[in-house]
Structure 1
Amino acid sequence: MAFHIVLFQPEIPANTGNIVRTCSVTGAHLHLIHPLGFSVEDKYLKRAGLDYWDEVAIHHHRNYSEFLQAKGPGRLFFIETSGTRFYHQTTFQDGDYFVFGKETTGIPKEILEENADQVIRIPMSKGKRSLNLSNTAAIVLYEGLRQIGFSELL
């Protein structure tokens, strides 16, 4: 089993490329919910992901509904600045899905409202908007991996 990183309509190719690289070194699966704000052939996307593309299970979904229909049994966690619980106060399990919103607008409000108990956040200085998407994904993913004892990682 593995953790899953879910990007809801990502807009910045370098962020997605960096996340591909993180997924490669951790064994996480990547789910891309369309529309994307870039082409998967984008040179910045490819450069950021280097030669890791063939090593990552990348799943494309036309929309959020299609993603929900295709996802496996793992639990969903939505990482958003509006979360009332911190990521490190959450117990993760192998197979969980970490959902991140688009860089400019985040996860749609209706999705957050439907999943209010599963919205978590990363502590930040007061008055700051957000962390970089690829950094946020790495922080949460590595906390999940830490909690399961870095299973299958050296």
Structure 2
Amino acid sequence: MGENINFNIVLFEPEIPQNTGNIGRTCVLTNCKLHLIKPLGFSLDEKQVRRAGLDYWKDVDVEIHESFEELRKKYKDGVFYFCTTKGKKYHTDVKYNRGDFLVFGKESAGLPDEVRNSDPDRCIRVPMINTTDRSLNLSNTVAIIAYEALRQVEFPNMK
């Protein structure tokens, strides 16, 4: 599991096709696998996903799961980090290994409590100014955390 890819990017019930397209493009260019947890807020056939991913979408290594439980069962030995504004640790405070799973919540609500609370010690966040109702765009957050993880493993097969 995970030997040929750098990281697994998991989007929990994504709602905005442009974000998913942008994240797919990031996955292609960083050798990460994209996992989508249903229900999706759009069809993968929508032109917005293809437009945001440009001509990269056909190259995205994507796996679709009916539920988060299905993903966890399939990758029961995987190490999962939950990216949430409610995390106690910064994304730079943990040691990543190739093949780890970076889990991101849906744009409108983040990760549900039951997912986030499944391993509170692995909840991480990107530092931001103190605000109660704002956070970074999902595709930006994925890029920030993915590139920190890639930096830690010395950007394998990247130039």
Fold match by TM threshold 0.5? yes
The answer for the alignment partner of 1:130 in structure 2 is 135
The answer for the alignment partner of 2:37 in structure 1 is 33
Residue range with higher mean Cα deviation, 18-27 or 107-116? 107-116
| Cα displacement string for residues 50-85 of structure 1 (whole angstroms, at most 9, x for unaligned residues) | 111222210000111111122263310000000000
The answer for the alignment partner of 2:156 in structure 1 is 151
Gaps of 5+ in 1: none
One of 112, 118, 142 as aligned partner of 1:114: 118
Matched, 1:53 2:73: no
Q: Percent of aligned pairs with the same residue? A: 47
**TM-score, normalised relative to structure 2:** 0.93
Aligned counterparts of 1:66 and 1:111: Cα–Cα separation in 2: 12
Contact 1:73 1:95 in 2 (8 A): no
Matched, 1:77 2:81: yes
Aligned length: 154
Aligned counterparts of 2:35 and 2:156: Cα–Cα separation in 1: 21
**TM-score, normalised relative to structure 1:** 0.96
SS at match of 2:52: helix
Aligned counterparts of 1:111 and 1:34: Cα–Cα separation in 2: 14
Matched, 1:20 2:33: no
Per-residue deviation, 1:44:
0.9
CA RMSD of aligned residues (A): 1.1
SS at match of 2:146: helix
Gaps of 5+ in 2: none
Matched, 1:67 2:71: yes
The answer for the alignment partner of 1:140 in structure 2 is 145
SS at match of 1:11: coil
Aligned counterparts of 1:134 and 1:103: Cα–Cα separation in 2: 10
Aligned counterparts of 2:65 and 2:11: Cα–Cα separation in 1: 10
Contact 1:27 1:56 in 2 (8 A): no
